Structure formats: structure tokens, C-alpha cells
């Protein structure tokens, strides 16, 4: 814990992520307007006391929409990474523990998935299903588990023949017990770091998809689709582009800083 506080990077990341979390949770209380309330009389108003981030092309309050957008960003990040980490741990454990043909098979599937441009894959799946927040989370999760699989497998391979694992095996522990009790807990550091970094890229992908109109669908507010409006009105309404872009930048930066900071802190090699 002390190490955490003294690590500026990790602290900066944590502060950013906590602010996003607070914004998302308190959105119903903090937001001055209904995020979807259309007010024809106050279209494209510049930031002022009554609308601190201005209003969009339909007169909706941008600040309120930004707060609700934080909810979407968190939800997508955590669910997508939950899915990819789950798959990665499962497949990586099987490959690293049992080795042999099942390992080769899983690793070839990983190679295969890595050779398909993932943004194309995601767009193609969205084209055949329909764009919705649930489909997006699932698709992002299902196309980003390869890194974690490789990591878990590599950790397992290096731990597999260590004495404490062999001892547990000799004592007749079941495979599941060895994996869950000995191998996984000792592989947690890289899993946590890469999950946090994974959230950052999931947030970026979601905002990109929403920006292209293939992500979170109107009227639900997401930072990406506020930017779509921003593009439309870029000549007259800078606030529509500035705030959501900054929010995405800071959030992604926050996860990256936290991830890199955790890597330094949890790495036993940096014990000085």
C-alpha cells in the first residue's frame, strides 16, 4: 500500500479512474438536466452558467450527457474485459497445465485470431448482428482474449514444475485444486496488469465504434456518439468535440497509468 501511494503514475491513474467512477455513479444526482431532454429553444448554446458544457444540436445538456456517458464507458470496459479475461484464464490454464496437443490447438487458434484485423472483425460481427451496447461488449470481449491466454499459459509453464506445485501434485490434489489454489494466485500480477490495460483499449474501441455510428445507439449518450455530433457542428460548436474527446483521452490515460504503475508495484524484482 505504501508503495502504491509513493508511485505517482499509479496514483494519478487511480485518481482519474475514481473520478470517472464517481461521475458515473452520481450521474442521476449530479446531472442538472435529463440527458435525453430535447430543448428546441436552447440548441447549440456555448458553455455558460446554466449549461456548463453547452448544449448539442438538439438542445440537450452536454454535461448531463457526459455524466451518463461515463456509465457506458465503465460498463463496456469492465464487461468486455471480464469476458476476455475469463476466456483467457480458462484457455490459458488448460493450455499451460495440460500442454501436449490441447496446448498446440489452443495456441494455433490464438495465432489465427491474431491474424484477422480485429477492428474489421468487430465491424463485421456488428454488421451481421445489430449494433447495441450488449452486442458491442460481447464482441469486444470475444475478440480480445488472445493476449491474456498467452500470458496465463506462459506463467503456468514456468510455474508448472516448481516444487510447491509438484508437492501438491504428489499429495494427490486434483487438477482443479492445483490450478485454482497454486497456479492462478501466483499468476495474478500479469493478469491484473493486462486486464487494466485491456479496459483502456476496450474504452477506445467502444468510443470509436460509437463515433462511427455502429456502437451505442442514440438516444443513449456515449462519449463516442457525442463526438459524432461534434463532427457535424465542428465549425460552430467546439464544446461538442472538446469535452467528450478529453474525457476519453483522460480515462484511457488513467487506465494505462494505473496498469503500468501496478506492473512496477507488483513486480517483486522492484523491491528496493
Partner 1 sequence: MITYLIKRIMWMIPMLIGISLISFFIMHLAPGDITSTEASFNPKASEESRQRLRETYNLDKPVMVQYGLWLKRIVQLDFGSSFASHQRPVLWQVKDKNGNISKGLIQEALPITLLINLFGIVIIFTISIILGTLSAVKKNTWVDKAITLFVFIGFAIPGFWLALLLMYWTGVNHQWLPISGLHSLNYQNLSMFSQLIDLLKHLVLPVFISSLSGLAGISLYVRNGMLEILNQDFITTARSKGLNEKKVIFIHALKNAILPLITIVGLSIPGLIGGSVIAESIFSIPGMGKLFYDSVLMRDFPVIMGILTIGSVLTLIGNLIADLGYAWADPRVRKGIIK
Q: Which residues bind partner 1 (CB under 8 A)?
A: 108-109, 111-121, 123-129, 200, 204, 207-208, 211-214, 227, 230-231, 234-235, 238, 241, 244-245, 248-250, 252-253, 256-257
Buried b (16+ CB within 10 A) or exposed e, 225-235: bbbbbbeebee
Nearer to partner 1, 179 or 257 (CB): 257
Residue with cell string 469486444: 140
User: Rounded to the nearest whole angstrom, what is the least distance from the CB of residue 82 to partner 1 in the complex?
Assistant: 21
- 254 within 8 A of 16, measured Cβ to Cβ: yes
User: Rounded to the nearest whole angstrom, what is the least distance from the CB of residue 255 to partner 1 in the complex?
Assistant: 8
Nearer to partner 1, 218 or 250 (CB): 250
Nearer to partner 1, 217 or 241 (CB): 241
Nearer to partner 1, 120 or 164 (CB): 120
Q: What torsion do the CA atoms of 106, 107, 108, 113 make, to the nearest 10 degrees?
A: 90
Task: Indicate the helix (H) or strand (E) that contains 12.
Answer: helix 8-25
CA distance 25 to 71: 7
Closest by CA to 74, choosing from 192, 209, 223, 212, is: 223
User: Rounded to the nearest whole angstrom, what is the least distance from the CB of residue 89 to partner 1 in the complex?
Assistant: 22
Nearer to partner 1, 146 or 184 (CB): 146
- 208 within 8 A of 98, measured Cβ to Cβ: no
User: Rounded to the nearest whole angstrom, what is the least distance from the CB of residue 96 to partner 1 in the complex?
Assistant: 22
User: Rounded to the nearest whole angstrom, what is the least distance from the CB of residue 33 to partner 1 in the complex?
Assistant: 24
CA distance 265 to 13: 13
User: Rounded to the nearest whole angstrom, what is the least distance from the CB of residue 182 to partner 1 in the complex?
Assistant: 31
Nearer to partner 1, 43 or 113 (CB): 113
Amino acid at each position: 500500500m505504501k508503495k502504491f501511494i509513493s508511485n505517482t503514475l499509479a496514483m494519478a491513474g487511480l485518481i482519474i479512474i475514481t473520478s470517472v467512477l464517481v461521475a458515473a455513479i452520481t450521474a442521476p444526482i449530479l446531472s442538472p438536466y435529463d440527458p435525453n431532454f430535447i430543448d428546441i429553444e436552447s440548441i447549440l448554446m456555448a458553455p455558460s452558467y446554466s449549461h456548463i458544457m453547452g448544449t448539442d444540436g438538439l438542445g440537450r445538456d452536454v454535461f448531463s450527457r457526459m455524466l451518463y456517458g461515463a456509465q457506458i464507458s465503465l460498463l463496456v470496459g469492465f464487461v468486455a474485459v471480464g469476458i476476455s479475461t475469463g476466456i483467457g484464464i480458462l484457455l490459458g490454464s488448460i493450455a499451460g497445465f495440460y500442454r501436449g496437443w490441447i496446448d498446440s490447438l489452443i495456441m494455433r487458434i490464438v495465432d489465427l485470431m491474431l491474424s484477422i484485423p480485429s477492428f474489421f472483425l468487430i465491424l463485421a460481427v456488428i454488421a451481421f448482428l445489430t449494433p447495441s451496447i450488449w452486442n458491442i461488449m460481447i464482441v469486444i470481449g470475444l475478440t480480445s482474449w488472445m493476449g491474456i491466454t498467452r500470458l496465463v499459459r506462459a506463467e503456468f509453464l514456468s510455474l508448472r514444475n516448481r516444487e510447491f506445485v509438484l508437492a501438491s501434485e504428489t499429495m494427490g490434489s486434483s487438477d482443479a485444486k492445483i490450478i485454482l489454489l497454486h497456479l492462478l494466485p501466483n499468476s495474478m500480477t500479469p493478469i491484473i496488469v493486462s486486464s487494466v490495460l485491456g479496459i483502456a483499449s476496450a474504452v477506445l474501441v467502444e468510443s470509436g465504434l460509437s463515433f462511427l455510428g455502429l456502437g451505442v445507439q442514440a438516444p443513449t449518450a456515449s462519449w463516442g456518439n457525442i463526438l459524432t455530433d461534434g463532427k457535424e457542428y465542428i465549425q460552430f460548436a467546439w464544446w461538442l468535440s472538446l469535452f467528450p474527446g478529453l474525457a476519453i483521452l483522460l480515462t484511457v490515460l488513467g487506465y494505462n497509468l494505473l496498469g503500468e504503475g501496478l506492473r512496477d508495484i507488483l513486480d517483486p524484482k522492484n523491491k528496493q
